[in-house]
Amino acid sequence: MKICIACSAGGHLTEAKQLLPALEKNEIFFLTTKREDTLSLSKTHRTIFITDPGRNPIRLIKNIFESLAIMKKENPDIVLSTGAGIAIPSIIIGKLKKKKTIFVESICRITKPSLAGKLAYHFSDLFLVQWKNLLTNYKKAKYWGAVV
């Protein structure tokens, strides 16, 4: 199975990398932004760099077009994300292309949902929270304990 792991650099990338042992028998590629930690990742894992939209509408549009081109070319079976904004276009495009979509809400989200989580929730086939009390915010979410 081909899996796209779409995540921002930093903590979201750290959480995504913790999922790798469970995914090792699959063909995996990362979709992320270019930073020191992701450049290091690209030495050990296939990594595709795209524009970080932040909260800038122009960069978001650029990210959407880049994500569309990558999803068309790579055609992953699953789009998995740990967040943040960089991942939202990928999750939405994956869902529109009828791919399985998985979002793992960050472990640092203990009492309230993230913005990325609130957006990805509507497009995720599997939405995981890592704290039971977040189940009240996300009715169709699953709690499997600390996933990462």
Q: Domain 2-22+30-143 is in which class?
A: alpha beta
The predicted-structure confidence for 85-138, as pLDDT tens digits, reads as follows: 888 999 999 999 999 999 999 988 988 999 999 999 999 999 999 999 999 988
Output the CA–CA distances (angstroms, integers) from residue 31 to 131, 136, 143, in the order listed: 26, 30, 25
Q: How far apart are CA 41 and CA 46, in angstroms?
A: 8
pTM: 0.93
Q: Domain ranges for the chain, please list them.
A: 2-22+30-143
